[in-house]
């Protein structure tokens, strides 16, 4: 593929070609690949082109649940977005307050005060990020104007089987008709479906870090569907901003806390994606752990390779599958992914290692749970839905040290 300079100009018809722009990093000797939306729906293209003709005209964005961690990350990521402007923010318990009073690190942002959801004027927005708690989103999204594009960061539309949703989340699904049209938004896997979607269910953090490496391998038949063991670790921000005794400093500091053993709510989401990839029922052994750090996630996966397959085969397939992707990076052989190398960014770093047990391999994947595991992937998805390059507003490099 030819190397070209990376451009992030306002969207035009040329910006939506199927070619990938590339910009070489002299620091890391890596190619930063800027995947752009291809085959965008005509209506989205026309809207984007109309916006481009008037450079001061931006898509109007609503953030529902702006007082939570994922909501604040959306605000941070949109601060320098050339085509999105926040015109509505909701936070029932913080209604009437500016974002700077809730998140002082965002005090420089010129944004509208937060309002209660019931007082929100949705005629002032073109699309919304829904960052509300699980179980509250279905009714709200059901009541939104049909013209709005929606990316939902809760779990309310991730499971296609509404009976399974009720089993794992303890309440009946409140919008089964909407569920039929919701697209599961694992961007690198479902790009074409996301482009034409009205409602995208943004994946969970653990499922993102797990499915990105495993789905390509299962699709190719390189690993067995049985005996998949996943050991995953997350920063405390993954538990949300609500006051909980288990998340107090003295409860989580200087230790590792296993939780949700065999019953974590991300299990059916993970199994749904892996089962789709393999065209057979997949059951995984998944144990998450809370780590004494603010953000970051590592998933270590132990898999059984198909007969005759080697770890080099797994490595080469992942290399080929993600070769032209912007945000999924397969490291050089023997390099170990670390959470500190993705902090604050939308990148997923991964690698494959041979297990001491013959016929098995170890796969390590790291993401920032609040960015690629939540708000960053949500922005990646809305970029696609609105017909603009999907990396727009997401080229923040990891924060280190």
Query: Rounded CA gap, 348 and 336, in Å?
Result: 13
Beta carbons of 80 and 106 less than 8 angstroms apart: no
Residue 28 has pLDDT above 80, yes or no: no
DSSP state letter for 87: E
Report the 10 Å Cβ neighbour count for 149.
21
Q: What is the mean pLDDT of the chain?
A: 88
What confidence score (pLDDT) does residue 30 get?
39
- Domain boundaries, given as residue ranges, for the chain: 59-202+374-386, 206-367
What confidence score (pLDDT) does residue 246 get?
72
Beta strands in 40-198 (DSSP E): 59-64, 84-90, 127-130, 149-152, 183-184
Q: How far is CA 209 from the centre of its chain?
A: 9
Residue 110 has pLDDT above 70, yes or no: yes
Which comes out higher in pLDDT, residue 285 or 49?
A: 285
Which comes out higher in pLDDT, residue 180 or 253?
A: 180
- DSSP state letters, 320-381: HHTTT-SSEEEPPTTPPP-GGGTTTSS-EEEEEEE-SSTTEEEEEEEE-TTIIIIIHHHHHH
What confidence score (pLDDT) does residue 383 get?
98
**pLDDT tens per residue, range 79-106:** 999 999 999 999 988 999 999 999 999 9
What confidence score (pLDDT) does residue 1 get?
41
Report the 10 Å Cβ neighbour count for 344.
19
Dihedral over alpha carbons 40, 42, 44, 50 (to 10 degrees): 120
Which residue is catalytic, options 24, 130, 131, 205? 205
Q: How far is CA 167 from the centre of its chain?
A: 24
What confidence score (pLDDT) does residue 288 get?
97
Query: Rounded CA gap, 143 and 10, in Å?
Result: 32
- Continuous H helices in 186-258: 191-195, 205-219, 249-252
- Does the active-site annotation cover 24? no
- 206-367 CATH fold: Dihydrodipicolinate Reductase; domain 2 (3.30.360)
- The SS3 call for residue 304 is strand
pLDDT band at 34 (very low <50, low <70, confident <90, very high): very low
Query: Rounded CA gap, 156 and 138, in Å?
Result: 6
DSSP state letter for 13: G
Report the 10 Å Cβ neighbour count for 104.
8
pLDDT band at 249 (very low <50, low <70, confident <90, very high): confident
pLDDT band at 240 (very low <50, low <70, confident <90, very high): low
- Lowest model confidence (mean pLDDT) among 226-240, 261-275, 306-320, 371-385: 226-240
Beta carbons of 131 and 70 less than 8 angstroms apart: yes
**pLDDT tens per residue, range 286-309:** 999 999 999 999 999 999 999 999
Of 8, 3, 6, 1, whose CA–CA distance to 389 is shortest? Answer: 8
- 59-202+374-386 CATH fold: Rossmann fold (3.40.50)
Residue 8 has pLDDT above 90, yes or no: no
Mean pLDDT of the region 231-256: 80
């Amino acid at each position: 593929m030819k190397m070209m300079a990376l451009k992030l100009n306002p969207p035009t018809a040329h910006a939506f070609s199927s070619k990938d722009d590339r910009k070489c990093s002299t620091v890391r000797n890596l190619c930063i690949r800027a995947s752009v939306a291809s085959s965008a729906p005509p209506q989205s293209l026309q809207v984007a082109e109309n916006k481009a003709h008037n450079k001061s005209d931006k898509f109007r964005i609503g953030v529902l649940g702006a007082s939570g961690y994922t909501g604040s990350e959306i605000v941070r990521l949109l601060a320098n977005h050339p085509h999105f402007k926040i015109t509505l923010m909701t936070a029932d318990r913080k209604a009437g307050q500016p974002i700077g009073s809730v998140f002082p690190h965002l005090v420089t942002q010129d944004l509208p005060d937060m309002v209660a959801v019931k007082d929100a004027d949705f005629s002032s927005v073109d699309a919304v990020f829904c960052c509300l708690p699980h179980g509250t989103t279905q009714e709200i999204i059901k009541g939104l104007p049909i013209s709005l594009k929606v990316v939902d960061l809760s779990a309310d539309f991730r499971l296609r089987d509404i009976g399974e949703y009720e089993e794992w989340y303890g309440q009946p699904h409140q919008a089964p008709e909407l569920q039929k049209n919701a697209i599961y938004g694992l961007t690198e896997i479902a790009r074409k479906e996301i482009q034409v979607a009205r409602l995208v269910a943004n994946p969970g953090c653990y499922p993102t870090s797990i499915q990105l490496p495993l789905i390509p391998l299962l699709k190719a038949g390189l690993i067995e569907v049985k005996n998949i063991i996943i050991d995953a670790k997350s920063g405390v921000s993954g538990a949300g901003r609500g006051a909980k005794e288990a998340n107090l400093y003295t409860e989580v500091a200087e230790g590792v806390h296993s939780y949700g053993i065999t019953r974590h709510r991300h299990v059916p989401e993970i199994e749904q994606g892996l089962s789709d990839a393999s065209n057979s029922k997949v059951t995984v052994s998944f144990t998450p752990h809370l780590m004494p750090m603010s953000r970051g996630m590592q998933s270590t996966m132990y898999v059984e390779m198909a007969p005759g397959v080697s770890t080099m085969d797994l490595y080469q397939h992942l290399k080929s599958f993600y070769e032209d992707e912007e945000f999924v990076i397969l490291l050089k052989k023997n390099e170990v992914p670390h959470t500190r190398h993705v902090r604050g960014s939308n990148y997923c770093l991964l690698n494959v290692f041979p297990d001491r047990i013959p016929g098995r391999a170890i796969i390590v994947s790291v993401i920032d749970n609040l960015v690629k595991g939540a708000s960053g992937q949500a922005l990646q998805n809305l970029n696609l839905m609105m017909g603009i390059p999907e990396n727009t507003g997401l080229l923040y490099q990891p924060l280190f040290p």
